[in-house]
Structure 1
Amino acid sequence: MLTKKTNMKIYLVVTLTFLTSIVGFSQTSETDSISKAKIKELQFMVGNWKGTGWMMGRHGKSEFDQTERIEFKLDSTAVLIEGKGLSKGKVVHNALAILTYDKIKGNYVFRSYLPSGLNAEFKAEIIENKLYWYPTENTRYIIWQNEKEQWYETGEYKIGQNWNQFFEMTLDREK
């Protein structure tokens, strides 16, 4: 038989567990609504895309064919990005990224994964309807939808005060 003291402890544990779950649920709901609103700003990216691009490397400019598959995930609180680039039949780019919004930091988070097992997290932000993400302090990629409703992306590195382009990609939405 349980004592009055034991019953009181059980009652307190159950009550505290219930209250904690309510508080956690309300915080999750608030976070979800903020995250959903911020992630919705990336609607222009969602879809299947196909096109071409170029990048500068050690041996000069190289061209490639590119596909991107972008979709909302986790009840529209994340964006899944899967990109694959081919040049002369060989894979030159293969990456997966997850884009979320960090309510505490007040910015987007771009986490990239490569087949080699490497992954990293980068700051991202939207400026004038363009997504900027920064692999390093002096490197940035900018993604937006151009006047032809194409996916347009550039990559730039900074020397001094000047940004210099080393990458460009133009993709059409597949129907």
Structure 2
Amino acid sequence: MKTTILMLCLLIAFNSIAQSDNHTDSLNLKTVDDLAFMKGTWKGDGWIMMNRERKEFTQTETIDSRVDNTILVIDGIGIAKDSSAVEPKVVHNAFGVISYNETLKSITMLSFSSTGGKMENEMRLIGDMKLEWSFKDERGGTVRFREDFSENGLWIEKGDYSFDGNQWFPFFEMRLERQDDKW
């Protein structure tokens, strides 16, 4: 009898662990179908803290799916608002690929930028049409970005920095509007 109860408890525990593992995957999918809300051309304004000074910019992001809808490609460019130069001053130039990473069993974004080089970060779904991704910087702190697409036709992204993972300081925000109806 004790053996039967023990086996039953182990079976229930194993089943609970197996089920919870399925829910710990970032988005628990092998295609980017659940991120279709990101697709489209987006334009708007934002600001970033650079050398303790707030810089404002105009941002354009284009997101589309490729390779039988297994990846999303993101192309973004930001132009300084205070640029009085003949040629627009590019303050942000980046390209990204969002895909399912089989090794990590999660969605990741491989990004390339003119200022930050190349990095791959895990993306997490933190709410309905809300994403988060982060990375450690060279000072040992954490840079975190949260993207909110939950309001129809609006993309709000905020960047925060933390030295200790507890107290967060905003350094970036952009508010973009959808320019097309791809989604």
TM-score (norm 1): 0.73
1:50 aligns with 2:49: no
Greater RCO between the two (CA within 8 Å, min separation 6)? 2
1:150 aligns with 2:154: yes
1:132 aligns with 2:132: yes
User: Which amino acid in the other structure matches residue 107 of structure 1?
Assistant: S
The equivalent of 2:104 in structure 1 is 105
Residue range with higher mean Cα deviation, 105-114 or 87-96 = 105-114
Residue 96 to residue 59, structure 1, CA distance change in 2 (3 Å): same
Q: Deviations over 1:13-52 (max 9, x none)?
A: xxxxxxxxxxxxxxxxxxxxx412xx11211110000000
How far did residue 147 of structure 1 move?
A: 2.6
The equivalent of 1:171 in structure 2 is 176
In 2, the alpha carbon distance for the partners of 1:55 and 1:138 equals 16
- What is the aligned-residue RMSD (CA, Å)? 1.8
Tell me, which stretches of 5 or more residues in structure 1 are unaligned? 1-33
How many matched pairs?
Answer: 140
Cα pair 2:92 2:114 within 8 Å, conserved: no
The equivalent of 2:5 in structure 1 is none
Work out which of the residue numbers 28, 34, 53 in structure 2 matches 1:60. 53
Identity score, percent = 34
In 2, the alpha carbon distance for the partners of 1:117 and 1:166 equals 16
Cα pair 1:146 1:152 within 8 Å, conserved: no
Cα pair 1:51 1:172 within 8 Å, conserved: yes
User: Which amino acid in the other structure matches residue 30 of structure 2?
Assistant: S
Tell me, which stretches of 5 or more residues in structure 2 are unaligned? 1-28
User: Which amino acid in the other structure matches residue 99 of structure 2?
Assistant: T
Residue 43 to residue 104, structure 1, CA distance change in 2 (3 Å): same
Q: Considering only CA atoms, is the larger Rg found in Structure 1 or Structure 2?
A: 1
Q: Which has the larger helix fraction?
A: 1
1:35 aligns with 2:26: no
Moved over 2 A (4+): 114-118, 146-149
Give the SS at the match of 1:72. strand
